[in-house]
Amino acid sequence: MRNVCTVIGSLTRIGLACSAALMLNTAFSQDFQSHPSTQDASVRVTLETLARWEDELSNWGRWGPDDQRGTLNLITAQKTKQAAGLVQTGETVTLQHFVTTEPPAIDSAAFGPTEHWMSRLDPVTGEPTFALDEIQFSLHDGMLSHLDALCHYRTEIDGEYIIFNGYPQNLTATGCEDLGIDRMGTSYVTRGILVDMPLMRGVDWLDPSTPIYVEDLLAWEEFAGVTIGSGDALFVRTGRWAKRDAEGPWQYGQGGAGLHASVLPFLRERDVAILIGDAVNDVQPSGVEGINRPIHQLTQVNLGLPIVDNGYLKEVAETAARLQRWEFMTAIQINPIKGGTASPFNAHATF
| Percent of the chain predicted with pLDDT > 70 | 91
Residue 160 lies in a domain: yes
Mean pLDDT of 286-295: 98
Q: What CATH number does residue 250 fall under? A: 3.50.30.50
Convert the pLDDT of each residue in 129-172 to its tens digit.
999 999 999 999 999 999 999 999 999 999 999 999 999 999 99
Distance CA 181, CA 190 (A): 19
pLDDT digits 0-9 by tens, 87-126:
999 999 999 999 998 888 899 877 888 999 999 999 999 9
Q: Mean pLDDT across the stretch 211-224?
A: 98
Q: Which domain holds residue 289?
A: 4-109+139-350
Distance of CA 11 to the CA centre of its chain: 18
Report pLDDT for 23: 36
pLDDT value for 285: 98
Is 116 within a domain?
no
Residue 117 resides in a domain: no
pLDDT at 15: 39
pLDDT at 110: 79
- Say if CB 164 and CB 302 are below 8 A apart: yes
Q: Is residue 206 part of a domain?
A: yes
- In this structure, are residues 237 and 204 in contact, taking their beta carbons and an 8 Å threshold? no
Q: Give pLDDT tens digits for 162-180.
A: 999 999 999 999 999 999 9
> Is 226 a member of any domain?
yes
Rounded average pLDDT over 304-328: 98
What pLDDT band is residue 17 in, cutting at 50, 70 and 90? Answer: very low
Residue 123 covered by a domain: no
Instruction: With 0.85 as the threshold, say if the pTM is over it.
Output: yes
Per-residue HEC secondary structure of the chain comes to CCCHHHHHHHHHHHHHHCCHHHHCCHHHCCCCCCCHHHHCCCCCCCHHHHHHHHHHCCCCCCCCCCCCCHHHHHCCHHHHHHHHCCCCCCCEEECCCCCCCCCCCCCCCCCCCCEEEECCECCCCCCECCCCEEEECCCCCCCCCEEECCCCCCEEECCEEECHHHCECCEECCEECCCCHHHCCCEEEEEEEEEEHHHHHCCCCCCCCCEECHHHHHHHHHHHCCCCCCCCEEEEECCHHHHHHHHCCCCCCCCECEECHHHHHHHHHHCCCEEEECCCCECECCCCCCCCCHHHHHHHHHHCCCEEECCCCHHHHHHHHHHCCCEEEEEEECCCCCCCCEEECEEEEEC
pLDDT higher than threshold 70 for residue 5:
no
Classify residue 248: in a domain, yes or no. yes
Query: What total number of domains does the chain contain?
Result: 1
HSE-up (13 A, CA, CB side) for residue 95? 33
Percentage, residues of the chain above pLDDT 90: 87
pLDDT at 290 over 50: yes
Q: pLDDT at residue 291 above 80?
A: yes
Q: Tell me how crowded residue 221 is: count the other CB atoms within 10 A of its CB.
A: 15
70 touches 306 (CB < 8 A): yes
pLDDT of residue 111: 85
pLDDT band at 240 (very low <50, low <70, confident <90, very high): very high
pLDDT averaged over every residue in the chain: 92
65 is a domain residue: yes
Q: Report pLDDT for 63.
A: 98
Query: Quick one: which of 146, 182, 111, 186 has its CA closest to 340?
Result: 182
